[in-house]
């Protein structure tokens, strides 16, 4: 399975999140899956991809060419895909992945999550989008989705599933329907 992990190039204050990123990278590799991600060696991107590589996993980095060459070539990967824009990166990740996991992140991560949700809601995708909701990080976002649903502005789960731990995330990925307990 090709699994895109959405995460940022920054490190969070919480070591729990960074360790979960490493744990996720290792688990993807051990499961024989391919990790696709944003291509940087910085922050959570580097923690996730580096851990997958250390476990002998296949890692595909997808990075826009507007980044400097030192950033583009800073992280060893199994395959480096160079695209022109962030939009092309999202397009590539969505087209080449079977499932998506979002670590706690910033606006770039949220943008990627929403892109997958919209494609799922419009029935253009049909792939699971798992939020790794460590320590309740995504609770405010989930509350906003509940408010949208209550107002009649969100009609489906859009393939979104929340997991409180890496173990729960892996269980969801390994569930045949990949859709256990959609939000």
Domains of the chain: 2-173 (3.40.50.450)
CB environment 128-152: b (16+ within 10 A), e (fewer): bbbbbbbeebbeebbeebeeeeeee
Q: Please report how many Cα atoms fall inside a 13 Å half-sphere around the Cα of residue 162, on the Cβ side.
A: 16
Contact 28, 3 (CB under 8 A): yes
Paired tokens of 30: 């051990």
Lowest mean per-residue pLDDT among 31-35, 73-77, 108-112, 147-151: 73-77
How confident is the model over 104-152, as pLDDT tens digits?
999 999 999 999 999 988 888 889 999 999 999 999 999 999 999 999 9
Going by their DSSP bridges, the two strands 160-163 and 129-132 should be labelled as parallel
Sequence-ordered list of residues with C-beta below 8 angstroms from that of 153, at least 6 positions apart, any chain:
none
Position 75 scores a pLDDT of 72
Position 67 scores a pLDDT of 78
């Amino acid at each position: 399975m090709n699994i895109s992990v959405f995460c940022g190039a920054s490190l969070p204050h919480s070591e729990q999140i960074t360790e979960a990123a490493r744990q996720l990278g290792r688990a993807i590799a051990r499961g024989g899956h391919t990790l696709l991600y944003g291509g940087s060696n910085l922050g959570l991107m580097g923690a996730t991809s580096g851990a997958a590589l250390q476990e002998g996993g296949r890692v595909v980095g997808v990075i826009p060419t507007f980044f400097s060459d030192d950033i583009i070539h800073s992280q060893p990967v199994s395959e480096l895909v160079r695209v022109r824009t962030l939009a092309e990166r999202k397009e590539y990740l969505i087209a080449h992945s079977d499932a998506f996991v979002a670590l706690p992140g910033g606006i770039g991560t949220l943008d990627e999550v929403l892109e997958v949700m919209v494609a799922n809601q419009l029935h253009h995708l049909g792939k699971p989008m798992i939020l790794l909701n460590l320590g309740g990080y995504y609770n405010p976002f989930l509350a906003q989705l509940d408010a949208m649903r209550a107002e009649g502005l969100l009609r489906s789960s859009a393939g979104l599933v929340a997991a409180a731990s890496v173990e729960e995330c892996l269980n969801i990925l390994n569930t045949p329907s990949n859709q256990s307990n959609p939000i």
